Amino acid sequence: MPSTLHPEEKRDPDFILRSNSLSAALTFAALAATVAGVYLFVPRKNNELLTRAVEEHRADQTWEIDHPSAAELTAWSVGALGGRTPWPPPGDGVDIVGARAFELQRGRVGLVRYLVDGRPVTVVARRTRDPAPRRHRRVVGADVALSWRAGKWTLVAVGPADAEPRWKAAMGAP
């Protein structure tokens, strides 16, 4: 089909500029609305594991297994979490009270309560979902929460702030 414009006719340059500017403005508005929507309506999951570990540390627990040995804890981890979890071993002044699993962000999480020199320390573990290794430390009242990576696992330990050096060493936290 032949063009209705004759070769000697030219388009108005102001019209072209206005139409391109309008297109760019609408694209920018759609992008800005998408970004704003994500930040406003999608809940933050930053350190959700650390936050939940602090909550679980302060809560009374019902254990799936009571006072397990290191071998029983490993067997439980394989069944409940799908892999050999690098739990801190019991030893000098370190006893395992119990273990249980729960769901968090569509994944299984293991929780083990230890007694380090008679003081409760909670360790939570889950398979790593983030790409980069990270360490976090948060002081919550009289407790300190530490998170770190151990191979394919993210571990969080929560214990009393005044005994942090002792339980941190016993739990193998960096």
| pLDDT: which is higher, 129 or 91 | 91
pLDDT of 46: 59
Give the list of residues 6+ apart from residue 147 with CB closer than 8 angstroms, or none: 47, 49, 50, 53, 134, 135, 136, 137, 154, 155, 156, 157
- Per-residue pLDDT, averaged over 81-97, amounts to 92
pLDDT of residue 1: 53
Whole-number Å distance between alpha carbons of 144 and 164: 7
| Annotated domain spans of the chain | 48-171
* pLDDT of 7: 59
Tell if the pTM clears 0.75, that is, is over it. no
92-149 per-position pLDDT tens digit: 889 999 999 999 888 899 999 999 999 999 999 998 876 656 788 899 999 999 999 9
Q: What are 25-36's pLDDT values in tens digits?
A: 889 899 999 988
Give the integer Cα–Cα distance in Å for 76 and 65: 8
Superfamily name with CATH number, domain 48-171: MucB/RseB, C-terminal domain (3.30.200.100)
